Structure 1
Amino acid sequence: MRTGMVALALGLLALRFLPVLPPVWLGFLLPVVGLMALPFRTYPLAFFLFGFSWACGQAQLALDDRLPASLDGETRWVEGRITGLPQNNEAVVRFELADARSRHGSVPPLMRLAWYDGPPVSSGERWRLAVKLKRPTGLLNPHAFDYDAWLLAQGVGATGTVKDGQRLSPARWAWRDGIRQRLLSVDAQGRAGALAALVLGDGAGLSREDWQVLQDTGTVHLLVISGQHIGLLAGSVYLLIAGLARYGLWPVRWPWLPWACGLAFVAALGYGLLAGFEVPVRRACVMIGLVLLWRLRFRHLGAWWPLLLALDGVLLLDPLASLQPGFWLSFAAVAVLIFTFGGRLGPWRWWQTWTRAQWLIAIGLCPLLLMLGLPISVSGPLVNLLAVPWISLVVLPPALLGTLLLPVPYVGEGLLWLAGGLIDLLFKGLALMAGQLPAWVPVAVPIWIGIIGALGAFLLLMPRGVPLRPFGWPMLLLLVFPPRDEVPQGRAEIWQLDVGQGLAILVRTRQHTLLYDAGPRFGDFDLGERVVLPALRKLGVNGLDLMLLSHADADHAGGARAIKEGLPVKQVISGDPLALPVELNAEVCESGRQWTWEGVTFQLWQWSSASESNQKSCVLQIEANGERLLLTGDIDTHAERALLDSPLAVPTDWLTAPHHGSRSSSSMALLSGLEPKAVLISRGHGNSFGHPHPTVMARYRKRGLHIYDSAEHGAVRLLLGSFEPPRTMRQQRRFWRDAPAVNK
């Protein structure tokens, strides 16, 4: 049976690695093959085929619920119910719309919407909304968070922007939203948002600085409801009943063990409902239920049995859970603890058990965190030694009890005031540690290095005395100091990052690094901090020799401050330095300036008669082994005519679309003068500016240019000087991503 359960799990997990889903007819055929294999006692094959076909079928249903491509960018009136906990900020209201329907065609039943300058909305309300619909896609950069996969796993079939709307009916059964409003209104010593995260799993009240502190110290799992909190509550109920029974205080006519397991599971479910019963919470409840069942009936089968059963149960209920990093981390952490503690000949003292558990989990999860592209907290094992009991034993009881007693005057608010002060004390300590040891963002490594690192971690988790165990350290350290792929002499590696409606292009030679524009920033949403800086670190960039900001507009220079704070930058040049923040210390773009790095030539140009910011864009030409790339910023047709009279008016292989393909640029004169073979477009999917304009695209097609569009291809990598076609992120096929567009 255990072999069959392992085969079932492998079949369910195989979905995560599929480039494309198998055809529907094959999905129906595989279970039949499995049934035919049963009489021949090939149970593992049958279970594998059942799991694989079930997972593929559920994935296909989720894909079928996505917005049709024909409605992408269209505005439709839809009706639905607000679900979850909406984020009502001053600038934008974000929420999920469930049970959505439209009179003018079918729409996905679940959508994630944003309403800029919209009115507050509450969970449970029904609205009729005019929504500009978008297919559920996100930015796609090397080794970054896969937003497309996350949306599919959440069941979100469309995203969109609300243009107008009217409330059809008030909120019904919105008790979680009501509790959140009460929590946010109490005096919690400035930590009401953290209390809402701890009690309800709503992290909207945590500031960006709070999230950074939690990430740096590896304590995100402590503030947003996780399996640890639910397990603690269930364990407390179980231990309470066991203690009463031990001292004769439990009724003899009621068997204490079934009651302890049953009430512990009820407590876990109740806390899960309070947290919204999202996917991680459902996963935790399933695991706790199976552990309690194991304790009640099946202890003789060993500790691996409930973990394996929980894995199969979670994946059968939600096969798409394997697309989320939290799924892998939660099961891996439990597996590490079972493996390390189950194989010991003698018990450890309690303090040895607690301290070693933290370090063993850190070692065991290190390769997995790296392969998932997640930051690694250097201080996490040490911080969690104190933070876990502080939250679990000191903060959580008054927080939950205070929430329960909010209807009682003074008592509930007093307990929440105490819990808020305890959380604030914790955050002050975490901030001090984060300032000394921020999270480490490792360089992405090839899969073979990840496998060697995982084998090294496995050896280190073995008991002392096991042969070859010391070799685990050099194998694990290979993840920290991997071999580097150097750019060949006389070549330049170009990355056009996917930053939405903005621009950020990384240029690397053998020993130097340049960043042309830094990504956009709109209000508090800084893509320089959230996208560009992590991408640079993942690509192994430890510093910039030059950050060249074409001009001062927010979509090109908005992320510059975050990048300069996060990486050493030797020099900053801009076409409009006076309009940039003083702390950037930007120098003026000197037209005609040239330099050479490792056989690669760079040359600057700026229109001397420019009168506004776009026209002031500092243009950069890069030449490697006779292959040229021209980075144009946001110049318009007037600046283009001046450029054609400059030394840069030579045949150019690669051209970045001026001003993201705006109608006011990419003139036919520029295309005829430069004779580019391909064009790079950086723009946001479904942007409100209409970039690239149809007339500009018609010019590109007329000239027969190869077009690489970040909204359709994701990030683009080019090795300048090799005269080879570029590599795009969407060429790495995954079944949840739209197929890469064909060059137009």
Structure 2
Amino acid sequence: MFALAVGLLALRFLPALPSTGWLLAMPMLALMLLPFRTYPLAFFLLGLSWACLSAQWALDDRLSPSLDGQTRWLEGRVIGLPQQADGVVRFELADSRSRKDKLPKRIRVTWHGGPSVHSGERWRLVVTLKRPSGLLNGHGFDYEAWLLAQRIGATGSIKDGQRLAPARHALRDAIRQRLLTVDAQGREAGLAALVLGDGSGLATQDWRTLQDTGTVHLLVISGQHIGLLAGLIYGLVAGLARYGCWPGRLPWLPWACGLAFGAALGYGVLAGFQVPVQRACVMVGLVLLWRLRFRHLGIWWPLLLALNGVLILEPLASLQPGFWLSFAAVAVLILVFSGRLGPWKPWQAWTRAQWLIAIGLFPVLLILGLPISLSGPLANLFAVPWISLVVLPLALLGTASLPLPFIGEGLLWLAGGALDWLFRGLDLLAQRLPAWTPAEVPIGYWLVSLLGAVLLLLPKGVPFRLLGWPMLLLAVFPPRESVPHGQVDVLQLDVGQGLAILLRTRNHTLLYDAGPRFGEFDLGARVVLPALRKSGVTGLDVMLLSHADADHAGGAAAIARGLPIKRVVGGETDGLPAFLSVQPCISGEQWEWDGVTFELWQWPDATNGNQKSCVLLVQAKGERLLLTGDIDRDAERALLATSLAVHTDWLQAPHHGSQSSSSWPFLQQLAPTAVLISRGRGNAFGHPHPQVIARYQALGSTIYDSAEQGALRLQLGTFQPPVAARSQRRFWRAPPAQSGVTKDRVPAT
């Protein structure tokens, strides 16, 4: 069983899937090995072959490259729970079909300004289709992997549509709509998350509070909720039987086990049956089965069987961080509560369990690149019993009682009030101890910290147990690799249709632009700030905002709230938050950091925001990098009359490669060796323009495109090519293109 689990989990780490020949050969080889009793190798091969075959089916179901960016009429059935926020409706379609083209089985679509959509409805839609893709920034959230784990073969934007058939048998959606209409003291969305596992209605601030306090698991249905419900049903039947209230003709134990498992399974299906719920249902089922047969259950068997059960049903589950956190948390609890010479008192078991879970999950959160809650152990001490014993029973009982006038609504009102009080307390805690995003740790240091965490989880008296503390802290304070004198570490982040470039010398840090923000979608908070912290940045010497457009300066406020900044410089001072205290860009200003020179320029005759972009020239050991913001051809013409108009090794493409920029005289004068393009895939502006790409190609410039290659890191001063995030091969990612743009070449004009 352990070998089978290792084979199933190995899929997560494959750079590429085996060929068809190997996919056929591996299960045959495994069956041939079984008669020779080489069970571990045989079951490892069986697990690996099944996982690879399942993954290949998911990859084959992706949208054809020929349809990428095309607009098609299609029909499909709405599945899951549609999400609606800020005038945008998001939902998934199943059984999609088009008259002429083969489409993936599942498509995730977005409808700006669309009507209300309900699960189970059938729609005919005009959709601009896209192949699965997402931002790629090292340890950031891998949206492409998430889409594959959900077996979503395409995404799309809806232009128009009409409803063909109403919803049928959409119980989850009907319950959600009812929950959102009751008066729950402003916490209707939180109750929907508890009852149905639907957190789409929670506000951004609520999610931030849950993340900062390590209590996200309480508002998404997990094993705790499933086990609690099963335990309540089992205890109810056992109590009735003990006091003679259970029908004598019905044996109480089989009924208690059956009803408990039925309740757990029903609640799991109602909640969407995600990975933590699957794991909990399997483990509850095993415990009840062993109880029914009056047998003692081993310590690790339920976890191992649940792991294999989940992965056999869905091998791609290992691509999701929640899978690893769910099983790791249960493994930590098993390790903590087993092998002890004497039982802990109840209060000791509860308090120690919280701290030991925090220690045990620390290496897991670290390797997954997730924030680590410093207040989590304290928050969970009161949040877990409050949710388990007060809020959740009231919410479930209130939901079940909704058909009864006033009773169900009254219970939900009480549940909402209890949940609101919890959030008030968590908000206070989060303000004082926000989540910590640690810097990236080399794999060797992480392995030592993992061993240290395991040592600390062992019982007292184990030799060298206290050595776990310095081993664990090695990941908290790892030795930092400093940038060599005279060089610059340059990181162009993948922020979609926007710009954010981090420049680090040996002792100083500069951020050029802060990424986009559109409404509540703030990539400064979601991508740029976590990336800075992952890079070990604890403060900025300068944040230079080329101009005030939202795609360049939208994330500045979030970064300023998250990191100390000594100086903010902007091509525009209007249109930026007042608390930033923006200093104007002064042409000709120069300074030197650690043997690297920096120089600013701005066109004095600029009449609009793009023309006012503050340009930065960086020189390290004779290698030049020119960051241009969104200047147009008029500003480029003015720049040609300055000292910056010299051969440039690295040019940040002006205005994301717009046709209004990158003029031929400008490029001829600078003759860039390489060009950095930061843009969103399939953006509405058509960036980069084919004619601009043709000009770069005519000059022989190498093109590096964030939409195709993800984040890019280069060492200015070494004259070496950059490293693209997509060059770290994973089987679900397409390899980076040699040239970042695949458009047909157009004659340079």
Q: What is the TM-score with the length of structure 2 in the denominator? A: 0.97
1:309 alignment partner, one of 298, 301, 305: 305
- Structure 2 residue 629 is the aligned partner of structure 1 residue 615: no
Distance 2:98 2:595 in 1: 59
Q: Which residue number in structure 2 is paired with residue 491 of structure 1?
A: 487
Q: Which residue number in structure 2 is paired with residue 562 of structure 1?
A: 558
1:68 alignment partner, one of 64, 68, 72: 64
- Structure 2 residue 391 is the aligned partner of structure 1 residue 395: yes
1:418-429 alignment, distance < 5 Å = 418-429=414-425
Q: Which residue number in structure 1 is paired with residue 45 of structure 2?
A: 49
CA contact (8 A) 1:294 1:306 kept: no
Provide Cα deviations, 1:466-514, integer angstroms capped at 9, x if missing partner: 1110100000011111111111110000000000000000000011110
Distance 1:487 1:455 in 2: 30
CA contact (8 A) 1:136 1:151 kept: yes
1:494-533 alignment, distance < 5 Å = 494-533=490-529
Q: Which residue number in structure 2 is paired with residue 715 of structure 1?
A: 711
Q: Which residue number in structure 1 is paired with residue 542 of structure 2?
A: 546
1:178-257 alignment, distance < 5 Å = 178-257=174-253
CA contact (8 A) 2:363 2:453 kept: yes
Q: Which residue number in structure 2 is paired with residue 676 of structure 1?
A: 672
1:119 alignment partner, one of 85, 93, 115: 115
1:346-425 alignment, distance < 5 Å = 346-425=342-421
Distance 2:397 2:8 in 1: 40
Shift of 1:250: 3.2
Provide Cα deviations, 1:95-126, integer angstroms capped at 9, x if missing partner: 11111111121111111111111112111111
Q: Which residue number in structure 2 is paired with residue 152 of structure 1?
A: 148
Provide Cα deviations, 1:294-344, integer angstroms capped at 9, x if missing partner: 333484451211111111111111101111111111111111111121111
Distance 2:350 2:249 in 1: 37
2:644 alignment partner, one of 640, 643, 648: 648
1:584 alignment partner, one of 580, 585, 588: 580
Q: Please state whether the residue corresponding to 1:364 is helix, strand or coil.
A: helix
Q: Which runs of 5+ in 2 are unaligned?
A: 741-749
Distance 2:649 2:294 in 1: 68
Q: Please state whether the residue corresponding to 1:180 is helix, strand or coil.
A: helix
Shift of 1:70: 1.4
CA contact (8 A) 1:496 1:716 kept: yes
- Structure 2 residue 703 is the aligned partner of structure 1 residue 739: no
Residue range with higher mean Cα deviation, 214-223 or 175-184: 175-184
CA contact (8 A) 2:8 2:47 kept: yes
1:621-660 alignment, distance < 5 Å = 621-660=617-656
CA contact (8 A) 1:96 1:112 kept: yes
Provide Cα deviations, 1:537-588, integer angstroms capped at 9, x if missing partner: 1111111110000011110011111111111111111111123222221111
Distance 1:718 1:291 in 2: 54
Change (3 A) 1:397 1:507: same
- Structure 2 residue 87 is the aligned partner of structure 1 residue 97: no
1:681-692 alignment, distance < 5 Å = 681-692=677-688
Distance 1:297 1:735 in 2: 44
Q: Please state whether the residue corresponding to 2:366 is helix, strand or coil.
A: helix
Partner AA of 1:574 in structure 2: G
Shift of 1:149: 0.9
Partner AA of 1:167 in structure 2: R
Q: Which runs of 5+ in 1 are unaligned?
A: none
Q: Which residue number in structure 2 is paired with residue 285 of structure 1?
A: 281
Shift >4 Å, 4+ stretches:
none
Change (3 A) 1:299 1:624: farther
Partner AA of 2:48 in structure 1: F
Q: Please state whether the residue corresponding to 2:341 is helix, strand or coil.
A: coil
Distance 1:470 1:695 in 2: 65
Shift of 1:68: 1.4
Shift of 1:276: 2.4
Distance 1:365 1:297 in 2: 34
Q: Please state whether the residue corresponding to 2:474 is helix, strand or coil.
A: helix
Distance 2:86 2:300 in 1: 49
Distance 2:108 2:560 in 1: 33
Q: CA RMSD in A?
A: 1.2
Shift of 1:410: 0.7
Q: Which residue number in structure 1 is paired with residue 747 of structure 2?
A: none
- Structure 2 residue 428 is the aligned partner of structure 1 residue 463: no
Provide Cα deviations, 1:191-228, integer angstroms capped at 9, x if missing partner: 11111111111112211111111001111111121121
Partner AA of 2:643 in structure 1: P
Q: Which residue number in structure 1 is paired with residue 34 of structure 2?
A: 38
2:530 alignment partner, one of 527, 534, 538: 534
2:131 alignment partner, one of 130, 135, 149: 135
1:79-90 alignment, distance < 5 Å = 79-90=75-86
1:477 alignment partner, one of 453, 464, 473: 473
Partner AA of 1:83 in structure 2: I
Distance 1:309 1:47 in 2: 14
